[in-house]
């Protein structure tokens, strides 16, 4: 048996819709695999009741099919489904790394990104790479159809997770189909600023680059209290705040000394809207890794 820890991720980061992603130090899934005559899935942990164990409907099952490697895959969920923290990507990435090793398929981590993305297609309808790329490679990633570029960034973040559910399909349905040239120019500038900040490990630059006037405002309508939570986090010292992935998670970039205050303030702001929430004080981190046999 092989065991892999696969991290939560945050995609989009405001200005990098469907392109940017970061691996987070926590939370994480733990995926255990062993060879079997046919693929079986067992799920425990956070939100297990919402995750199908049918291999045809599970992200890890899709990975096993893509690698032609039947396995008994046990997933202990630390990343809650429908959280905006790459829950399905964590399971897919963990399974891809473990099954590839178990069957000696010889794929590099970069080559496993499209394999893990096949798992994402099961739940999202499309093989998006913005979550699976950082889940496998770690750090900050830029995923395009031509490949993935990675930066080994070290940025403190707070992720606040409200007790709300926003499905990926609903979040994609509200995305505007077009934008004005002025919005395009603004988005490109912000994305470039964010990328520079990741290269420099500069939370202030990253935060400035998270600003987005196209996708985020549309998705914010699906998250009760989002605008107040964002303003509260900025007032508490966050350099930038945006929706994590499809939501409802909200990610704030800040200096390490402000993390506790930012986390508490975000929870309080959700509470004022009658929404319970919890928060992770974490940072950008490494990709999926083996824990042992």
Catalytic residues: 120, 168
Spatial separation of the C-alpha atoms in residues 262 and 278, rounded to whole Å: 12
Spatial separation of the C-alpha atoms in residues 143 and 157, rounded to whole Å: 21
Give the Cα-Cα-Cα angle 63, 65, 68 (nearest 5 degrees).
110
Q: How far is CA 267 from the centre of its chain?
A: 20
Contact 249, 160 (CB under 8 A): yes
Phi, psi for 22 (deg, rounded to 5): -135, 145
Rg, Å, the chain Cα set: 18
Contact 203, 253 (CB under 8 A): yes
Which secondary structure element, helix H or strand E, spans residue 99, and what is its range?
A: helix 87-102
Three-class DSSP category at 249: coil
According to DSSP, the residues that pair with 277 across neighbouring strands are 162
């Amino acid at each position: 048996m092989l065991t892999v820890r696969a991290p939560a991720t945050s995609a989009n980061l405001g200005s990098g819709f469907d392109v940017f992603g970061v691996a987070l130090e926590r939370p994480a899934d733990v995926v255990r695999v062993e060879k079997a005559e046919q693929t079986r899935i067992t799920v425990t942990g956070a939100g297990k009741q919402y995750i199908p164990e049918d291999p045809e409907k599970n992200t890890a099952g899709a990975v096993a099919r893509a690698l032609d490697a039947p396995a008994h895959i046990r997933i202990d969920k630390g990343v809650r489904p429908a959280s905006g923290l790459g829950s399905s990507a964590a399971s897919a990435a963990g399974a891809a790394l473990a099954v590839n090793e178990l069957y000696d398929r010889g794929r590099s981590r970069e080559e496993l990104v499209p394999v893990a993305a096949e798992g994402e297609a099961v739940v999202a309808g499309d093989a998006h790479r913005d979550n699976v790329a950082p889940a496998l490679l770690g750090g900050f990633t830029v995923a395009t159809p031509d490949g993935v570029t990675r930066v080994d960034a070290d940025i403190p973040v707070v992720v606040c997770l409200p007790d709300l559910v926003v499905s990926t399909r609903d979040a994609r349905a509200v995305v505007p189909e077009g934008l004005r040239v002025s919005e395009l120019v603004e988005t490109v500038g912000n994305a470039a600023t964010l990328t520079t900040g990741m290269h420099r490990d500069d939370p202030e630059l990253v935060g400035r680059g998270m600003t987005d006037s196209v996708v985020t405002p549309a998705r914010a309508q699906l998250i009760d209290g989002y605008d107040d939570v964002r303003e509260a986090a900025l007032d508490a010292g966050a350099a930038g705040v945006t929706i994590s992935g499809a939501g409802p998670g909200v990610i704030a970039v800040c200096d390490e000394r402000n993390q506790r205050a930012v986390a508490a303030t975000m929870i309080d702001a959700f509470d004022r809207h009658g929404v319970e929430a919890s928060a992770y004080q974490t940072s950008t981190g490494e990709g999926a890794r083996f824990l042992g046999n």
